[in-house]
Amino acid sequence: MIDLPLVTTGSTAVYAVALVVLLLWLRRVPVDRRTLCYPIVLIVGTSAVAVGLNTVGVGLVTINGYEVTFPTFLNDLFSYALLYLVMARIGGIEGRALALVVATPVAQRVAFEFGVVFGGLFGLGALGFVIVAHLAIAAYLLGPIWRSIQSMPEQRRLLHWKARNLVLFLMGMLIVYALISVGGIFDTVTSDIINQYMGILIRVGFAGFLFTNLDAVGGASLRPSARETGGATAD
């Protein structure tokens, strides 16, 4: 019978293999285009460690009758923040706009964890916040941010468009799954498998997307440059 340790062990192996592939791939990437690759490789590496710790039961704490796996929780905060950061910097987003884009998935993840731990009206409000925040950040990226980068080189603007849509779609899928799972529709094994699959899809999937589209990143980097043009700074 499939159990949680078997599922997480398999997930750890997938992350480990993906990490090796990305590190080998990174060696072939021109130095001037590696800036955005480093955080994505780091996400995959830390995810392998977090899931591995989950496999051996490290950091598992029961709060209000709900099991919180701190390595997974902290890794989610770290991973989602970096994913949104990379997506945003491809589009030249900076300043308060960048802070808002990066902070949103972190706030959503914290709200979800607190929601399922404490439940009740507080839990419903927290889960409602997760949904509203996703719709709000999607509207912000699709509206004001997209309009502010129209002067950006076409190839890089198109890459941001693809990265934005991919991140919003994957995170939207994750939110839908998380909300359904809270309702207890899935059995434990099915929930574990889907949860690990979604995590791999978001992290490794985005890594593959970025690495195969590096020709379009142009001058994008994690740190805003005075030479950068067409970046989004509007709030």
- Please indicate, yes or no, if residue 225 is contained in any of the structural domains: no
- Please indicate, yes or no, if residue 226 is contained in any of the structural domains: no
57 DSSP 8-state letter: T
Against a cut of 0.85, is the pTM above it?
A: yes
For 119, residues 6+ apart whose C-beta sits below 8 A from its C-beta are 64
Task: Say what the pLDDT of residue 72 is.
Answer: 94
Task: Say what the pLDDT of residue 226 is.
Answer: 47
d(CA 1, CA 157): 48
- What count of Cα atoms within 13 Å lies in the side-chain half-sphere of residue 65? 4
Task: Name the β-bridge partners of 68.
Answer: 61
- Please indicate, yes or no, if residue 235 is contained in any of the structural domains: no
- Please indicate, yes or no, if residue 19 is contained in any of the structural domains: yes
Query: What tokens were used for 60?
Result: 């598992």
Task: Say what the pLDDT of residue 224 is.
Answer: 66
Backbone angles phi, psi at 69, to 5 degrees: -100, 100
Q: Which CATH number fits the domain that encloses residue 192?
A: 1.20.1070.10
Task: Say what the pLDDT of residue 15 is.
Answer: 97
Identity of the amino acid at 98: L
Short-list 36, 43, 53, 37, CA closest to 15: 43
Task: Say what the pLDDT of residue 230 is.
Answer: 46
**Contact (Cβ atoms closer than 8 angstroms) between residue 190 and residue 7:** no
Short-list 71, 15, 64, 82, CA closest to 44: 15
Domain count, the chain: 1
- Please indicate, yes or no, if residue 85 is contained in any of the structural domains: yes
- pLDDT truncated to tens, each residue of the chain (235 aa)? 567 788 899 999 999 999 999 999 999 998 888 899 999 999 999 999 999 999 898 988 888 888 889 999 999 999 999 999 999 999 999 999 999 999 999 999 999 999 999 989 999 999 999 999 999 999 999 999 999 999 999 999 999 999 999 999 999 999 999 988 887 788 888 888 999 999 999 999 999 999 999 988 877 888 766 445 445 555 4
- Please indicate, yes or no, if residue 232 is contained in any of the structural domains: no
Domain residue limits at 206? 4-216
- Please indicate, yes or no, if residue 66 is contained in any of the structural domains: yes
- Please indicate, yes or no, if residue 233 is contained in any of the structural domains: no
